[in-house]
Structure 1
Amino acid sequence: MLQQETALQKLWSWLFENKVMLLFLLICVGGVAVSGNSASFVIENVAIRFGRNAFTVMSLLIPVLAGLGLNFSIVIGAVAAQMGLFFAVDWGFNGVMGMLIAFLIATPLAMLFGFGVGRLFNKMKGSEMIAGLILGYFADGLYQLFFLYILGGVLPVKTESLIIPGGIGIKNTIDLTGNMKYALDEVKLVDIVLIFFIIIAVISVFRIIIKLKNKEQSPLKDLIILLLAAAVYALTYVPAVESMLMTSKLSLLNVFLIIAVVGIAYAIWKIISNKLNPDPKFKAIRYITIIVAIVLLYALTYIPELEKILMNSKVSALPLALIAGLSLFNAAFLSTRIGQNMRTVGQSRVIANASGINVDRVRVLAMIISTVLASWGQLIYLQNLGTFATYGAHLQVGQFAIAALLIGGASVSKATNKQAITGVILFHTLFIVAPEAGKVLFNNAMLGEYFRVFVSYGVIALALAMHAWQRKKKPSLELPA
């Protein structure tokens, strides 16, 4: 019989498992202190970068859980996004419609590229990460051939201002000002509520029709969800509510309030659900602790200095909603049969084969999903940036996204939404303060820039090395029988 872990052993185990994240948390705190940047400046810029980059980082989760490791080939998804964005600009589309056209072009391209990458990875089992890295370089060569020679040389380009003087090839930089800059960032909250209502309504109606047709289950639950969604949308016609929703930005204070309300509601729902359907393994103290922790953390926002910073720091509503939606998708998808199959494949391909799971098909599906999500993340990034570096915007996508994921405590075999979000915050905090910190420490402005590059490359090597050490040392932490 195994001995029960003591509180000290649990603490040591938690510290050991999160050592990478804790190390970079200390580096971030030190960097902020040394750089001399104000807390307001750092938080505001981290909020902007979070909305710009988090979606791409979270596109890495499914391949990790499917046993494909860190997906360096998301560069190919970024390539698909940039092709879609270019054609949308060339054809004269702008605003939300232009972004929709870019999504419609990029998505099938990303699905095709993801399918090809997945098939290739099935031929190189165990070497997916190095294969993805090299494949990214190969795709970059084909991409440059397409943009330097085929566009303007073989395929006509409608917008002459995009072409290099001479008539063949595309310029180094495409300015999105006036067409798709901030196209997603400026979507108002009231429109987001309408979009979510339409999505919920379509899904609910579809499920109700299926259940009525099969006559196996009652559609009451889906009908209640539809009515609740309709009631929430109806509130947008109340003048006071409509006025409040006529904005495209949310302050971090409002974001924390939403998170607090959702967190407390979730904890209460779990407690009530257990009362209705008792589970002997259920630990009510865990959810009570969550409620108390949320209340205490939110109480900190009443500190005047912190409240002012959080009120002044804004984040775009639609990118934040898309990030939240992707978090829910990752959680919900992994609870489905296909998601469970991916977990099984990631843990052991031998067991998965013995269970009758088509391992190759599951791996290909994981790559298709990741590549499509990466292409969407790149579109979110480019519209926020406002400029499109034709030949360089995609080159470091994989490197920065993987570095952020690893800083959050993920590894080549385990990654969660929480680790991705934590990693984005820590990585971009470090990215913001590193140049100034390097300048202060070494009295040289250029060294500050080199320090930032060192961080982006060095964190991957350090995190992977620490992960390898963890795998070697972990057996010694197991309690004796």
Structure 2
Amino acid sequence: MNKNIITKHYTNNKEILNLENINPVPFIFLLLFTVGMFFSEMSLSFVINEVITRFIRDGILVLSLLLPITAGMGLNFAITVGALSAQIVLILAIDLNFYGITGFIIACFFAVVLSVILGYAIGYILNKVKGKEMITTIIIGFLANGVYQLIFLAGYGTFIKPRNTEIILSRGVGVRNMVDLAPYRNILDNIWKINVGDIIIPVFMLIVVLSFCIISAYLMNTRLGQKIRVTGEDMQKAESLGININSVRINAMIISTVIASIGQMIYLQNIGMLNVYTAHLNSDIFSGAALLAGGATIRKAKVRHAVLGIFLFHSLFIVSPQAGQNIFGNAAMGEYFRSFVAYGTLVIALILNKNKLY
């Protein structure tokens, strides 16, 4: 008996120490950031300020990816639909003159309602294509973008009558490319800020994002979270345990879409401007890249991966343009490198974890 215990203990330690279990992606990003920081010659306080801003701006969007991955559906590129829900409601709120913190809260409520409906539809579709969820969510994102563009480029001013003509193009049909979100700009960021030397810390928003981190971690320990985990590990085993896997997967997509819509609301109030036709683009790619940069895979992701990934990914994003300017004499090289980093992260993570895809 003791021999069996020792053998089991040795085997477990061997698995823990197995180098194959170490994800090199965070170390690659840390190395690239260190090199970029050196050549960019940026001040540390500037980089820290920018990283904090991006953490509160993009943190919740990244967290929206956790549940679908745990449920075995891979990266949910359909979080674009959640982002679109937020943008639709914000445009309507500006059109109907819902301003101030009250208007923002009302907009958040309706964004959540819309994202619940759309999240259910996405989950229903994905239950029909088990095993092909990632490519399906990409197509769903494209479809949702096309419908959204049609409504606000051709429908607004024709069958949808605007009240606020300032957001409409001069021809009377279609919403302008840029809509000013002045009534909501930094409406949450400015609630509670403190200065520590040259570093500005938006305490309230940090608490909000960290609260979502805690809620996400707690959710995985609830009964629903356990069902999601079992479903992601083995759907046949989950069914044998009496778990309705279709319902579990739909719930995971609903929660993911809701969190994404809230994340986009926070993102847009931080930016203060809504680029109507492009603000949602790349929200899925950048969020997925940030998560993978933190050491997550498309089969396993935790809150710590999201937090670490946001800091690593966006730190490199901040220093790369100036580093490109100083190394090559051309800032455009740094901008190209940003896109390379985003898509390259996905490719590297998929290659390194190719044995974990199925």
Question: TM-score scaled by structure 1?
Answer: 0.70
Equivalent position to 1:184, from 156, 177, 188: 188
TM alignment of 1:124-163, pairs within 5 A: 124-163=129-168
1:249 aligns with 2:253: no
Quote the Cα distance in structure 2 between the aligned partners of 1:384 and 1:132.
27
TM alignment of 1:43-192, pairs within 5 A: 43-177=48-182, 179-187=183-191
Equivalent position to 2:228, from 317, 322, 342: 342
Q: 1:78 to 1:5 in 2, by over 3 A?
A: same
3-state SS of paired residue (1:315): strand
Question: Residue deviations 1:330-386, cap 9 Å, x none?
Answer: 122111111111111010000000000000000000000000000000000000001
Letter in 2 for 1:71: N
Quote the Cα distance in structure 2 between the aligned partners of 1:6 and 1:118.
39
Quote the Cα distance in structure 1 between the aligned partners of 2:97 and 2:201.
28
1:402 aligns with 2:346: no
Question: Residue deviations 1:209-268, cap 9 Å, x none?
Answer: xxxxxxxxxxxxxxxxxxxxxxxxxxxxxxxxxxxxxxx1145xxxxxxxxxxxxxxxxx
Quote the Cα distance in structure 2 between the aligned partners of 1:43 and 1:11.
33
The Cα of 1:38 is off from its aligned counterpart by: 1.4
3-state SS of paired residue (1:153): coil
The Cα of 1:39 is off from its aligned counterpart by: 1.0
Q: CA RMSD in A?
A: 1.9
- The residue that corresponds to 1:431 in the other structure is 317
- The residue that corresponds to 1:465 in the other structure is 351
Letter in 1 for 2:249: R
1:36 aligns with 2:41: yes
Question: TM-score scaled by structure 2?
Answer: 0.94
Quote the Cα distance in structure 1 between the aligned partners of 2:121 and 2:114.
11
Quote the Cα distance in structure 2 between the aligned partners of 1:429 and 1:11.
29
Q: Tell me which structure has the larger Cα radius of gyration.
A: 1
1:440 aligns with 2:330: no
Q: 1:29 to 1:5 in 2, by over 3 A?
A: farther
Q: Is the Cα–Cα contact under 8 Å of residues 56 and 374 in structure 1 kept in the other structure? A: yes
TM alignment of 1:243-392, pairs within 5 A: 248-251=192-195, 311-392=197-278
Question: Residue deviations 1:133-176, cap 9 Å, x none?
Answer: 11101110000001011111111111111000111110000111
3-state SS of paired residue (2:254): helix
Quote the Cα distance in structure 2 between the aligned partners of 1:313 and 1:5.
47
Higher helix share: 1
TM alignment of 1:193-204, pairs within 5 A: none
- The residue that corresponds to 1:275 in the other structure is none
The Cα of 1:9 is off from its aligned counterpart by: 5.8
Quote the Cα distance in structure 2 between the aligned partners of 1:14 and 1:43.
32
Q: List runs of 5+ in structure 2 lacking aligned partners.
A: none
Quote the Cα distance in structure 1 between the aligned partners of 2:292 and 2:55.
16
| Identical residues among aligned pairs (%) | 40
Q: Is the Cα–Cα contact under 8 Å of residues 319 and 380 in structure 1 kept in the other structure? A: no
